[in-house]
Chain A
């Protein structure tokens, strides 16, 4: 888990929300904004958790 995977996941999430906004015009902007925020925070937390687990595993294995 490095910076690259975080950047890629964030770009993909932004693109997905953007596509939903284009495809379903009835979704309110506030809902899309909320989904964007929650998705970005979740992506960050998952990335941090995976990076921490990987580093601890390598430390314990060494």
Chain B
């Protein structure tokens, strides 16, 4: 595959992941600032490790599924995610619901973390670790769901052209 063929795929996957990445980074930043960086990075690492395990375990199983059924399932998921985001964007643009404010999210997360009592087990703060995990895990999963079809398309394109 050439970069001309690859660039739209990589660009679309990058843009789809960027929003989730910023949201996850905001939560990790809040956890690290209030409860310590060690626990924040431990939770982040654990979430990424869980994602890698899931992808490695379930990735090869995708090849066993019928291609058309998989295309239908992924297409339906993309349609539902995309329409949901579009709905939110229209409502935010019209001023019906407030704009997404990362500063407000940071302030809210920081205030919640400050309220929780400081505890430490095995050198890490479980509350901080769980918060970082909860912040990173769903967003990284969403990234993998949104990028998987693009990667699938690249692989299918490469396989067909080979």
Chain A residues packing against B (C-beta within 8 Å): 3, 6-7, 10-11, 14, 40, 43-44, 47-48, 51-52, 55-56
Instruction: Give 10 closest A-B pairs by Cβ, nearest first.
Output: A52-B96, A7-B80, A48-B90, A3-B84, A55-B96, A44-B83, A48-B87, A6-B87, A10-B83, A6-B83
Query: Are B96 and A7 neighbours in the complex by a CB distance under 8 Å?
Result: no
Query: Are B87 and A40 neighbours in the complex by a CB distance under 8 Å?
Result: no
15 further A-B contacts with Cβ under 8 Å, apart from A6-B83, A48-B90, are: A3-B84, A3-B87, A7-B83, A10-B80, A11-B80, A40-B79, A40-B83, A44-B83, A44-B86, A47-B87, A48-B87, A51-B91, A52-B91, A55-B96, A55-B97
A60 to chain B, nearest CB (A): 13
A33 to chain B, nearest CB (A): 12
A43–B87 CA distance with the chains assembled, in angstroms: 10
How many residues of B are counted as interface, with CB atoms below 8 angstroms from the partner's CB atoms? Answer: 12
A48–B84 CA distance with the chains assembled, in angstroms: 10
23 contacts between A and B (CB under 8 A): A3-B84, A6-B83, A6-B84, A6-B87, A7-B80, A7-B83, A10-B79, A10-B80, A14-B76, A14-B79, A40-B79, A43-B83, A44-B83, A44-B87, A47-B87, A48-B90, A48-B91, A51-B87, A51-B91, A52-B91, A52-B96, A55-B96, A55-B97
**Is B56 part of the contact surface with A, judged by Cβ < 8 Å?**
no
- Residues of A near B90 (CB, < 8 A) are 44, 48
A52–B86 CA distance with the chains assembled, in angstroms: 14
- Residues of A near B91 (CB, < 8 A) are 48, 51-52
- Residues of A near B79 (CB, < 8 A) are 10, 14, 40
- Residues of B near A48 (CB, < 8 A) are 87, 90-91
A7–B88 CA distance with the chains assembled, in angstroms: 13
B82 to chain A, nearest CB (A): 10
- Residues of B near A44 (CB, < 8 A) are 83, 86-87, 90
A57–B132 CA distance with the chains assembled, in angstroms: 38
